[in-house]
């Protein structure tokens, strides 16, 4: 049972565009949603995270928009650069449990 779903599976954008990565979840008890960035040959690295009490979180060019009622969130990468090309994982958890990860979105930013 996949509790966290991501779309699209892969995404290609031009340099300078905003990339939008989507995530949805099933368990309404989830209250913490981190996004991880993974480059080939490396482990995932925490990029940005949001708690369910907020509907938006910004950090540099990365923004999470969170919709608790619809149980979905999105990661916006503003002014995408080729160096942002990576796989992005959405995760979710609630207190007392481990994080569940989505299947990832592979982003390619074309110069």
The residue ranges that bind another protein (CB under 8 A) are: 32, 34, 36, 41-46, 49, 89, 93, 97-104
Q: Which two three-digit tokens encode residue 45?
A: 């690295």
Q: Which is nearer to another protein, 22 or 99 (CB)?
A: 99
Taking the C-alpha atoms of residue 64 and residue 80, their distance in angstroms, rounded to an integer, is 15
Rounded to a whole number of angstroms, the minimum distance from the CB of residue 75 to another protein is: 16
Q: Which is nearer to another protein, 33 or 80 (CB)?
A: 33
Q: Which is nearer to another protein, 25 or 36 (CB)?
A: 36
Q: Which is nearer to another protein, 77 or 90 (CB)?
A: 90
Rounded to a whole number of angstroms, the minimum distance from the CB of residue 38 to another protein is: 8
**Helix, strand or coil, per DSSP, at residue 60:** coil
Rounded to a whole number of angstroms, the minimum distance from the CB of residue 94 to another protein is: 11
The closest alpha carbon to 61, from 40, 45, 35, 81, belongs to 81
**Helix, strand or coil, per DSSP, at residue 9:** coil
Inter-residue contact 10 to 27 (CB < 8 Å): no
Rounded to a whole number of angstroms, the minimum distance from the CB of residue 46 to another protein is: 6
Inter-residue contact 107 to 21 (CB < 8 Å): yes
């Amino acid at each position: 049972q996949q509790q966290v779903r991501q779309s699209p599976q892969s995404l290609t954008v031009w340099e300078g565009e905003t990339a939008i990565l989507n995530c949805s979840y099933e368990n309404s008890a989830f209250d913490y949603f981190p996004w991880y960035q993974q480059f080939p040959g490396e482990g995932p690295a925490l990029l940005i995270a949001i708690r369910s009490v907020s509907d938006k979180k910004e950090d540099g060019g990365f923004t999470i928009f969170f919709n608790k009622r619809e149980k979905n969130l999105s990661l916006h990468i503003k002014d995408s650069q080729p160096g942002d090309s990576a796989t992005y994982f959405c995760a979710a958890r609630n207190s007392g449990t481990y994080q569940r990860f989505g299947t990832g979105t592979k982003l390619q930013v074309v110069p």
